[in-house]
Amino acid sequence: MRSRTFRSKSAPIAESEILLLVSKFANLVAAKIETGTTNGKKIAALLDPQLHPRPPKPSRRGRQLPEGVCSGCRKRDAAPGLKSCQACRDRKRREWSRRAKPAQLLLVTRPAVEASPLCLGCNKRDAVPGLTICQTCRDRRRFRDNRALKQGKCSGCKIRDPVPGLKSCQKCRDMKRQQYSRREKQTKLLEATELLDKRPLSKCSSCRIRYAVPKFKLCQLCKNRSNFRARRLVQQGKCSSCKSRYPVLGLKTCQNCRDKRRRPKKQRVEETKRSFNGFGGSTDSVVISNPNDTKHALYEGPQVPKLPVLKPPPRLEVVGKGKPPNFRVANSADEPLVLEQPVEAMNLQNVDSRRCGSCYKHDVRPGRLQCESCIHSMEEVLAERKALGLCADCDDVPVPGSNRCEIHLTSMREHSAKAQKYARARVLQRSLDGKCTYYVREKKASHQQNLLSRLF
């Protein structure tokens, strides 16, 4: 065994040794401050790389790549701060998106001959296999992206500045990353569902070609198309369900479609049959006009401003059985029924809620029944008649504190009370019969008298 020599505790230390130790310690502290490490070899290589060269780190493929070259294609320049170029990144992203498509997983267990779907962009040509758009739309999208890049804008939103060396901004990149992570989670969930669920797959209720996603009636492609159409309708300011009315503020559907969805399906079918065929085979008249009154809460229907006397528009009623109703002007001289609920709450699919109820020319705002021009002209007529000291409906002197004379004021009150009683009686009778109280329609006078005598 080799012996070791130790300095005795009593032996003095030379001054030169002390200076050498102090200089080494000072150099070590300076090297640590400069390089951030205490390893002697690393410090020597960092301080003097020519005397102590570091061996090159071997590449994954056996050879060293030049600095700034893409590690994927080895041809183009890599993006700043990254190892691959933008083209390789896009190719890898497309591969990830194809792997994460749940619709392809459903076709693995039961292959089927699929017809090429239509493009989601133009809805005319066939889409490229594995994608949702056709080749023409792909070329147009590429041209738009290149034009945005030449202008120095993001290729996704065309608004914000892109990340240096990339095509998209940071917000679009984060949004795309969230979409990929969501697809991966959905893919894993569908794989687990396919392993656990042994029931036969059902066909898509829309295309009748592909198989529906579990717990849904549509396949993944039809779901994406439906979401795309709904998003486009919402951007246009239309209801995403009926595509014709204005949606409720802050929502995607109108009040009519929301009320339809709340009611059960069986009840909706019965109401549709009643609205087309009438009660008991008789023709029903749907009243959509109200007497002219701007103060009473019951009268919210369309009004036609005329000089010098304001008159309500003619009543409309449904004519025909077993087919969609046709509206015509009613010839009966009876007073129209005043409903307890506004006309907007009535589920009339044939009445276009976008048009003014007075002139039928201009569009109305959401929640209103008349356009701005009709409301303004009606207010001018009422103000003119009030300035002249005339009744709003005739040329008599109005009652103090009101805009109508004694005769019209009394008739309006009687008509309102009678209409409320009739409407309450109909609603109560329909609730006793176990029917929906949402629709209130006219009935024969004899039936009304019998109903009133039975209830009041």
Read off the pLDDT of residues 346-363 as tens digits, 9 standing for 90 and up. Answer: 443 334 446 776 676 777
Q: b/e map of 382-403 (b: 16 or more CB within 10 Å)?
A: beebeeeebbbbeeeebeeeeb
Instruction: Return d(Cα 344, Cα 367) in angstroms, integer.
Output: 8
Q: What is the pLDDT of residue 188?
A: 66
What is the average per-residue pLDDT within 92-113? 56
Question: What is the predicted pLDDT for the residue at 106?
Answer: 44
pLDDT for 310 equals: 43
Q: Which of 91-100, 113-122, 282-291 has the lowest mean pLDDT?
A: 282-291
Contact assessment for residue 133 and residue 127, using Cβ atoms and an 8 Å cutoff? yes
Mean pLDDT, to the nearest integer, of 170-198? 71
d(CA 101, CA 322): 46
pLDDT of residue 421: 75
Query: Which pLDDT does position 71 carry in this prediction?
Result: 81
Confidence class of residue 63 from pLDDT cuts 50, 70 and 90?
Answer: low
CA 104 vs CA 48, 187, 191, 195, 211: distances in Å: 58, 10, 11, 15, 10
Portion of the chain with pLDDT greater than 90, in percent? 0
User: Quick one: average pLDDT of 116-125?
Assistant: 78
Query: What does the pLDDT read at residue 420?
Result: 75
- Say yes or no to pLDDT of 341 above 70: no
Judge contact between 399 and 409, C-beta under 8 A. Answer: yes
Nearest to 437 by CA among 360, 367, 341, 362: 341
**What CA–CA distance (Å, rounded) separates 156 from 112?**
35
Per the prediction, the chain carries an average pLDDT of 67
- Cβ neighbors of 317 (< 8 A, separation 6 or more) are 283, 284, 285, 286, 287, 327, 328, 330
Query: Stretch 93-121: mean pLDDT, rounded?
Result: 58
Overall average pLDDT of the 326-338 stretch: 41
Adjacent-strand bridge partners of 126 = 118
Read off the amino acid at residue 39: N
State residue 298's pLDDT score.
40
Please write the tens of the pLDDT for every residue from 193-248: 555 555 566 788 888 877 888 778 888 888 888 888 888 888 788 888 887 777 87
Q: Is 319 left (phi over 0), alpha (psi -120 to 50) or beta?
A: beta
Decide if pLDDT at 331 tops 50.
no
Phi, psi for residue 330 in degrees, rounded to 5: -75, 140
Structure tokens at 281: 């085979």
Q: Kindly tell me the number of DSSP H helices and DSSP E strands found in the chain.
A: 12, 2
| Closest C-alpha among 263, 241, 236 to residue 253 | 241
Specify the pLDDT at position 446: 54
pLDDT digits (tens, 9 = 90+) for 281-303: 333 333 333 444 444 434 344 44
Write down the pLDDT at residue 127.
84
Query: What phi and psi, each to the nearest 5 degrees, are found at residue 182?
Result: -65, -40
